[in-house]
Amino acid sequence: MSAERKTLEQRIAMVIRLLASDKDGEIIAAVNALKRTLASAGTDLNGLAHGVENLGKGISNEERKKIWDTAVQHTENRLHGADEFIDSSGKPSWQSVALYCQRNKHRLNVKHHNFIDKVASQTVYNREPTEPMHKYLFSLFLQLGGKII
């Protein structure tokens, strides 16, 4: 049987408890273990201190939106490979960009939704958007974190 994997919080708590040792060597080892544990979570001692300072405080809507957008972008990157939007010319195809924008339109201002839906519906019939529509579509794609190489 394999041991159940501990959560980040459990691992941090376990390492902090090691700091209570009366042996200097164990304390130094615990500090180094704490740094490694935090690094594996993408943070450091300053991040831990920030978390402790803000215990019990709610996060602002702006921070919540930033966290959400970062998570969504990370998920998109994992679900779609780097070449997901690239056509044979090395640039993103308008069809892929339109469908990406439609999947993520909730992250944009509502005023863009009808345009995105209209362009995405044109993918079914392979109707090329006009040049101004292309520019508008690609500007929205960039706002959503898309990259044009």
Q: What was the pLDDT predicted at 147?
A: 74
For residues 11 and 39, give the distance between their C-alpha atoms in angstroms, rounded to a whole number.
12
Q: Which run of H or of E encompasses 2?
A: none
Q: List the structure tokens of 142.
A: 């960039």
Q: Residue 116: pLDDT band by 50, 70, 90 thresholds?
A: very high
Q: In the chain, pLDDT over 90 holds for what percent of residues?
A: 17
Residue 70 reports pLDDT greater than 60: yes
**Three-class SS string for 81-143?**
CCCCCECCCCCECHHHHHHHHHHCHHHCCHHHHHHHHHHHHHHHHCCCCCHHHHHHHHHHHHH
Domain residue ranges of the chain, discontinuous segments joined by +: 8-53, 61-143
Mean pLDDT score across all residues of the chain: 81
pLDDT tens profile 72-94:
666 665 555 444 556 556 677 88
Q: What was the pLDDT predicted at 74?
A: 62
Q: Of the candidates 34, 57, 142, which has an alpha carbon nearest to the alpha carbon of residue 92?
A: 142
Residues 48-66 as b/e (b if ≥16 CB within 10 A, e otherwise) read beeeeeeeeeeeeeeeeee
Residues 11, 34 contacting (CB under 8 angstroms):
no
Q: Which run of H or of E encompasses 31?
A: helix 24-40
| C-alpha pair distances (Å), 139 with each of 71, 98, 118, 133, 134 | 21, 11, 16, 10, 8
